[in-house]
Structure formats: C-alpha cells, structure tokens
Amino acid sequence: MTANPNTLDVDAPDADERATYDYVSNDVERPELVVALRERINGDVRFDTYTRQQYATDASAYEETPIGVVFPRSTEDVAAVVSYCAEHEVPVLPRGGGTSLAGQAVNEAVVIDFSRHMDGIVSVAPDDRRARVQSGVVLEELNDVLAPYELKFAPDPAAGNRSVIGGAIGNNSTGAHSLKYGKTDAYVEECEVVLADGTVATFGEIAVDDLRERADPDGDLLERVYAEVIRIIDEEADAVRERFPDLKRNVSGYNLDMLVEEAETGTVNLGRLLAGSEGTLAVVTEAEVSLEPVPETKAVSLLFYESGLEAVTDVQHVLEHEPAAVELIDDVLIGLARETAEFEEIAALVPEGAQAALLVEFYAAADDHGRERTAGLLADRVPGSDSEAAPPDDRPTIEETHAFEGLEAHADAEREKFWKLRKAGLPILLSRTSDEKHISFIEDCAIPPEHLPEFVERFQSLLVEKDRDVDAAFYAHAGPGVLHVRPLVNTKADRDREDMVEIADAVTDMVVEFGGSVSGEHGDGHARTQWNRKLYGEDLWETFRDLKTAFDPDWLLNPGNVCGDHDMTENLRYDDAYEYDAGFEPSLNWDNENGMQGMVELCHGCGGCRGSQETTGGVMCPTYRAAEEEITATRGRANLLRNAMSGDLPDNPTDDEFVEEVLDLCIGCKGCARDCPSEVDMAKLKTEIMHARHQEHGASLRDKLFANFDRLAPLGSALAPLSNLVQSLPGAGTIAEKTIGIARERSLPEFHRETVQDWFEARDGSQVPEAEAERKAVLFTDTYTNYSHVTVGKATVRVLEAAGVHVDLASRTDSGRPALSKGFVDEARKTMRANVTELAPRIDEGWDVVLAEPSDAVMFQSDALDLLSGKGVESVASNSYGVCEYLDTYRLDENIDWNAPSESLAYHGHCHQKATKKDHHAVGVLRRAGYTVDPLDSGCCGMAGSFGYETEHYSLSQSIGEILVDQIEDSDATVVTAPGTSCRTQLGDKRLKPVPAESSLAGSRLDSEEPPTPVELLSYALPR
C-alpha cells in the first residue's frame, strides 16, 4: 500500500496473551503429514479426531470430515502448507468463521483456519479510505477500529460479528444494504494470495495490455493464470454478457461478469476475480479493501400488506424511492413473532389483518432529511396517509397494489425495534428439535424485482404439488430480489431428500426463465454447485472449469465447489445412515420434540457462540471469548457431543477423555440457552452427561464437597471464627490445592456464627404485620446467604419490609443448585422436591417466594421444571422471584424513600438471570432510586460457582474475568455493583476492591434497622 502520513498502524492481537487450551491427542490422522507440516510452519497443526470433527461442519446442512486443521501465523506458513500439500496431492480448504450456509467451508481436505492467529488489522489509511487486513479479521471488529474515522467496510452480512474478511471475499458477501453498497468485490483493491503450488502473489489492478504481456500458456503457474484470464477476455466476453444475470446480487459461479466489464476500460482487478471463488482458485492471506463513510443518520418505515404476494408486488414501486434496504417479513415470521413471549412487544406493532410487511430503511444526511424520505414513501404507498409529503409527480398517487398501513421510526431505539421484527422469526425457525429442519438449499435465489410476484406464486405452488406439502418461510432482502426460502424437510428420510433435488431443479428452471441467479448471497458450495451448469449453460460451465484448472491444475483447492462434482444430497449431516444412541436414559425433563436427542441435534452451526464481547455482546460463549478455540464454543461442544452419540467419535460421551476435553470447560452460564439463535442448552446437556458419568464411574471428592456444601456450612458457622482462621493459616491454600484441587489463589467463603435465620428469629420475625402488608413473601436464604453473606440476607429482609412486605423465612437453605451444577441430578431432585413440599402450600395461601441469590432464583424458576413435574413445582416456578425482580414486578420499591447517594453505577447482571431475561429488573429499581446506571452488556464473570475455585480452571476463570473488568473500566460509571455471590467474589479477587468503610455505599447501615440502599441490597459496591 502506498505510504501515507495519516496511515494508522494497528497492532494485531497477540495470540500469546490469549488463554490457551491444550488437547490430549486421542488419535491422529495421517501422522506423517502432521510431522511434515509441523517441521515447516510456526503455526499449530492438529489432526486429532476431536479437531477434525469440529471442522466437519459449518452453518449448512452438510458434514465432511477434514484430513486435519492448520492454524497458520503468517503467509509463509500458508505457503509452506499449500506447497507441501500440492507436492503430495493433498486437498486444501481455507476457512474463516465457518458461517457458510451452502457447505463451502467443509471438505475432505487440510483446513487452514485463519481466524485463530491471522486476524490482524495491518493498517488503516482513513484519508484514502483504505484498510489492509489479514484474512481472519472479523468484519465487525474491523468496523469497530474504523468507527472513530466514521468509516466502515460496507458489506454487512448477518453473520458479520463472527465472519471474517477472507470468507467475505471467498463468498463475495453482501447484506441487507446491498441496494446501497453492492457486494464485497466492489471493495477489494488488492489481495495477497498463495497459489495452488505455494507461490505467493499479489493480485490487484493491472492494465489488460500488461496482463497480455505477462501471459504465457506454457509458463509458470502465474503466467498460465494470466493466459487463461486473457483468453476469457478475448474469446468468452460475449458469452459472459449473454448468460450472466443482470443483477446486483449474483454470487454463483466465478466473477467473470465483473472481469469482462472492467476489461472494457483497459484495466482489470484480478483480486476481484477471487470474490465468490470459495477458495477454489487461490488462498487469500491478506487484503486491501476500500471503505465507505458511515451514514449520518437513518430512517425506517414499516409497510403492512394483506398478503405476501401484495408485498413483493409493491417492491418495485418502493424501490423508486431509492432506499438503502427493503426487507420482506412474511406471514410465517409474523405469526411466530406473535406466538413468542419474547417478541410480544414487537408483534404488537403489527396491525390486525397484516400477513406481510416490508421494512424500508433510508440513509439520510440529517433527521429532517430522514423524515422527508419516510413521509414521501408513506404518502406514495399508503392510502390515506397523514404524511404531508407529495408523491412523485410522474405517476398516480397509489398503484393497484399498495400497503394498507405504515409506520415510521427515527430514534435509534425505535429503528432497532422495527429491525427486531424482521429478525424475530428466524431464531424460532432454527429452534426446531424435530427431525424436520428449515434447510438452506434453495435459500437465496436472486430474481429481478419486477418478476418477484410471479416467482413467489410459482414457488409456493411448487412446494405443495405432488402431495409434497412442504412448509417454508419467505423473507429477507426483497429490494435486490433475494428471498430467503427455507423449506421444512427431514434429510433423514429418502422421500425428503428426493424432494430437495426436485424442488431445486424446478426452482433453477424458474431462475433461468426470469433472468435470475441460484445464489444471490450465500454461495454455491455443496448445495448449489451442481445447478451452475444449468444456470450458465455448458459452454460457460466449461469456461469455469478451464479457469479452475489454470489456477489449480490438480484441483486440490476446495475441490468440488463452484464448477465441481458436488451432489446436493451427499455428505448431509443427517441422512438415512445417521444413528443416534446416547448410551443412557435422560434423567431431566425435556419438554421438546425428540427430547434430549432433539437438543443434541439442534445446533445448526451458525457460529454465534464465536462472537467476541465487543461484537456480539450477551453472555455466550465466555470460554470461547477467553480462549478462542472452537472446542470451547457451544458449536464445538455440540458437534462433538452429537458425534459421540452417533458413533462418529471413538469415545462415549461419559468417557474420561470426552468429559475432560469437551465438557469440562463449559461453565454452565446458560448463555447459549438465550443467545444462540437455536437456543442450544449446553449447560443442561452437560448436566445430563455428568449425571450419567457419576452413575457409571462415581464422582470425585471435590465434586461431592461442592455439591453438599449446605451440609458443611452449618459446621463452619458453628465453629466460626475458628473455621475462618484455619483458612488463613500459612500453607492452608497449598494443602487445599494438593488434596482437594482448590486453587491456592482463591479465598474461600468466610462463615458467620450468627446466620440470617438466627438473626431473623432473634428479632421476632417480620416487622411488618401481615394484616397491614402490601404482600407477603417467604424469603429463601440460600446456603451462601445464610451462612457466609449474612449482610445480604439482612438487607433483603429490611428492604422488603420497607416496601411494605410481610416477610417470613423458609426453613431450608439448600436450593439444589450446588448439586445440580456438579451433575448430581438425583440429589438435586430430592432437594427440590423437599422445597416444593414446603413452599407450594404457602403459595396456595397467598405467599410469594423471594430469593436473594440470582442463581438460586433461577433454580426455582427454571431448573426446578427440569427436575420435577406437576402443579406444585409449576406453582413454585411461576411464583418465585429474585429480590429486585420482585420489587420491580410489583413496583414495591416505589413505597421506599431510598435516600440514594449520587454515585453512577455500572451494573453487572448475573449470567443465569440474563439467560432467563430477568436481569433488567435490578436496573429498573436502581434507576427509580435515583442512580445513573450503566447496565453492562457483559457475559459470565468467569467464577461460575465452583468453577473458578478449581485449580485446573483458575487461569481460564481469570481470563474470562478480565473481559468483564475491561468492560467496567470502559464504563463512565464510578462504581460497579453485582448481585451474584460468584461475581462479587471474582471482582474482589481481581483489581477491584471493596468500597472503603467511610463510603456511603459501604453498607454501614446493614446492621441497623434502616432500609438499605439498592446498592447495599445488591451487596458490595466495588470501585475501580
């Protein structure tokens, strides 16, 4: 790149600073190849069974086990791998985040994963609007770096928070705003590549005359490539112009239309020829890309229609208003949103009778400009619109097809609400636990917008003809004519696989008839490669193959894709040969189709669990965020668990190696149950496996101690302060580490002689008479609250009383959480049954159940239903609350004069509460009390109950905790507070220390009868 005084050098992440995870090599494929590659590169080489199985799938319906996986650290590493593999005729597959929907990221090849080490931003030149990056950089991470310059990499695929630039080039990615920005090829300025023989070359802009001079059909590989490119320009240009669809969105086949178009100017960019090639022509290691300004503001309209056909018919009229995006929401997605509690508020936007909607977004120079754009659209497309804007003068006010109602949004929150409606249904589509899945095999045909109505009508007829009756949803990018269609099929059944081929064949015929493309976004891969022959005709099909041969004479680069021999029904993840056998009977309740098997098979591979805290937010997946290893992500664990239960791994899921390698680092945060689009519940699956393992092999002493802490805590309390003194003796930590496996760096909980139950009894129970109370609540003081964090229990009682609640204490302190977290299901079930026996009758008498500790509240609200069935447990689950949830739900805190200090707070919610969507209640209470609150979009703190205490997990626990500390330090708040005992322990063990005693936040009133502040209620406030 040309030197520029304004160029900003950006350091690539230091891989050595990441948490490390070492595999125990269970067995190795091709050991001689492993030895050879390790001798030649500085990166990692892994050919063990677990690694290979993790990379056998992507986000598609396909599965193909690779030969092995390499994680290069440099272009030299990549060249060494490709060169050696070429010499020994070993296929190679470059891969990024593994988010491909057509199967182009799986193959029987040596996978080169760029996302681990080659993920750096080399430089940014804001004045030139250029950035140079390594192939593995995540798109949103790049945009985060560009944000201060008000620039961005424009293509915005839905998976941009985990997909990488190399994948975007390989797939010629685009997104919802392609009307404005087009595809990735328009932004590729130069590529550093490794050719099929290991040669490192630079592909960028070059004059056709220069290219012609360098071309030699008998020369070296690069010269032969030049010769074939010149031949296409000279001999195939007319055929390309005739057969290539005239569309903004076509990523099928090789990018010859752009090549021919550029050649007319006398200059071509060979880097752009690689866009959409799916790694079949060369391996991109580094790229220089051009950038676009971030729009000043945006405005969004929602247009509602009585049918999906009316909506797609109106698209061509909406396009006359020059929007940046036009998205279709069909009746299936609207219906799913209406039926799902999470989207109830969003679905309420949809008027009665609406069977489809178009979401239309405009970019604008200012808010007034945005309002003019939406007003003009509504005036034109909605009869009787209140908008004062006039429709275009050159046609009637309303065409025959139009919307019957319209809305507009301008504020960020309102615009996001509209977009949430567009995105609401897809996670539900992907959360089916039956054998039938919404498969991506004809998912993104691109059709000229004027032909969309007829295409949709004929497509729908096709799905129901011949007694096929296949359900499908039609949604996504209607503006450029790309509709995502996911038919519901069971690939395990012969008939359904036959239907897939018949449907795809017929759809391809329609696509050709309408001048469209079989892929407008997600590529060819295993799913669509075979249809390129019909789309482009035999002559261009052979041209594709000639180009492939010129670049890759032995067809070793991702063979089979684009112009190869893939059959869409081969190498499916589930087919008639697939067998499932868990090896044990599930112990928990599985209220879904196919039970536990349905959950094991639920992960569709989108890679959402691979996002960073900055790009993805939320809870999932904390171990991946710290280690950046596929096996520490939910997808990696889910794939390996399914493989173990289908016989594709040599291990049973309860074997030592499987548990230690695959499940041990799952910290049970439950984030995947919320943040995963399919809601894969890995924590629950792990509990089942650990329970079965205990049944087969017994349990360790440490696990038994943690699971039965409620039995040990009374003894520690009775012996306090002596029991606390013992922990502080020199060498006590070392002894605990060597004998039990508790990390010496951790401070163990301290015990109080006077428990919460003792204190409550001594004060003669509640200070609010039952007859005068607003409500009455049974406070369940969990083990830690009762014996170790007594001030929290006291604060909870007093704040409830200040809110007018008559309080009583439950007689028990064990919620069952400790036993369940260690996989002792029978013990947890016994404990929960006892709790239900005590609490259910009191609920029938009008009492509520309140818990101070978030994980124990969720234990009653959610996990209890996994353990027990019946009206009693359902009553307990639906009438149990975390303390702030209780105050917020019934607005009881409005009865309290908090007298809150003026400090601003960063609030870290407990991951279990976040997973059950209950973490917002504390924020509401704190804000009404007068605090300025910054609710952190944080993940798990890394302590995760006993996990952070365990010697072998201490380092990873700390690495996860550092992510949270970084977020706290980025907040403008002066104080951070957290309701979870584990969270406060983790923060206290790191750089954050308890508030000084003289602070108004220190809890000085906790031993008085005055109501505590909300911060005191949430226990220790921890300053920076």
pLDDT of residue 9: 35
pLDDT of residue 674: 87
Note the pLDDT tens digit of each residue in 214-228.
Answer: 999 999 999 999 999
Note the pLDDT tens digit of each residue in 111-144.
Answer: 999 999 999 999 999 999 999 999 999 999 999 9
pLDDT of residue 380: 93
For the chain, give the mean pLDDT. Answer: 90
**Mean per-residue pLDDT for 16-34?**
63
pLDDT of residue 422: 83
Tokens 């961005």 belong to 152
Q: Tell me which residue of 474, 344, 491, 363 sits closest to 420, measured CA to CA.
A: 344
pLDDT of residue 905: 87
Beta pairing, strands 488-489 & 325-329: unpaired
| Residue 987 to residue 964: CA distance in whole angstroms | 9
Q: In what order do the strands lie in the sheet with 975-977?
A: 932-935, 904-907, 975-977, 1021-1023
Note the pLDDT tens digit of each residue in 474-516.
Answer: 888 999 999 888 888 999 999 999 999 999 999 999 999 999 9
Q: 67, 33 in Cβ contact below 8 A?
A: yes
**Mean per-residue pLDDT for 136-160?**
96
Query: What tokens does 400 get?
Result: 């025959």
Dihedral sign computed on CA atoms, order 369, 374, 379, 381? positive
pLDDT of residue 959: 93
Q: Given a cut of 70, is residue 16 above it in pLDDT?
A: no
Q: Given a cut of 90, is residue 364 above it in pLDDT?
A: yes
pLDDT of residue 12: 34
Residue 613's pLDDT band, with cuts at 50, 70 and 90, is confident
pLDDT of residue 827: 97
Listed range (59-68, 653-662, 832-841, 897-906) with the worst mean pLDDT? 897-906
341 burial (CB, 10 Å; 0-12 / 13-18 / 19+) is exposed
Residue 997's pLDDT band, with cuts at 50, 70 and 90, is very low
Q: Given a cut of 60, is residue 853 above it in pLDDT?
A: yes
pLDDT of residue 974: 81
Local structure of residue 782 (DSSP, 8 states): -
Query: What tokens does 968 get?
Result: 């706290």
1018 vs 152, more confident = 152
Q: Given a cut of 80, is residue 539 above it in pLDDT?
A: yes
pLDDT of residue 1024: 46
Measured at the alpha carbon of residue 349, what is the angle toward residues 343 and 351, in degrees to the nearest 5?
125
For residue 212, the one-letter residue type is R
| Residue 279 to residue 270: CA distance in whole angstroms | 14
Listed range (359-363, 720-724, 1011-1015) with the worst mean pLDDT? 1011-1015
**Mean per-residue pLDDT for 959-965?**
92
Q: 61, 41 in Cβ contact below 8 A?
A: no
Q: 104, 558 in Cβ contact below 8 A?
A: yes
Dihedral sign computed on CA atoms, order 826, 829, 833, 834? positive
Residue 900's pLDDT band, with cuts at 50, 70 and 90, is low
Number of neighbours of residue 908 by Cβ within 10 angstroms: 30
456 vs 5, more confident = 456
Note the pLDDT tens digit of each residue in 375-413.
Answer: 999 999 998 766 555 454 444 444 567 899 999 999 999
pLDDT of residue 431: 83
β-bridge partners, 303: 358, 406
595 burial (CB, 10 Å; 0-12 / 13-18 / 19+) is middle
CA dihedral 934, 940, 943, 945 (to 10 degrees): 110
Q: What is the pTM of this model?
A: 0.92
Local structure of residue 232 (DSSP, 8 states): I
- How much of the chain, in percent, has pLDDT values that exceed 70? 91
Listed range (182-186, 384-388, 572-576, 743-747) with the worst mean pLDDT? 384-388
| Residue 727 to residue 192: CA distance in whole angstroms | 59
DSSP calls for 3-22: --TTPEE-PPP-GGGS---P
Which string of b and e fits 88-122 if b means at least 16 CB within 10 Å?
eebbbbbbbbbbbbbbbbbbebbbbbbbbbbbbbb
pLDDT of residue 345: 79
Element (H, E) at 935: strand 932-935
DSSP calls for 119-160: --EEEEEGGGTEEEEETT-BHHHHHHHHGGGTEE-----TTT
Q: Which residues contact 704 (CB under 8 A, 6 or more apart)?
A: none
β-bridge partners, 551: none
Integer angstrom CA distances of residue 566 from 489, 521, 528, 561? 20, 19, 8, 7
| Residue 750 to residue 23: CA distance in whole angstroms | 36
Residue 989's pLDDT band, with cuts at 50, 70 and 90, is confident
- How much of the chain, in percent, has pLDDT values that exceed 90? 75
Before 396, cis peptide (omega within 30)? no
Beta-sheet strands, E only, within 392-461: 405-409, 437-438, 444-446
Q: Which residues contact 579 (CB under 8 A, 6 or more apart)?
A: 646, 647
Note the pLDDT tens digit of each residue in 76-108.
Answer: 999 999 999 999 999 999 999 999 999 999 999
Listed range (296-300, 468-472, 695-699, 859-863) with the worst mean pLDDT? 468-472
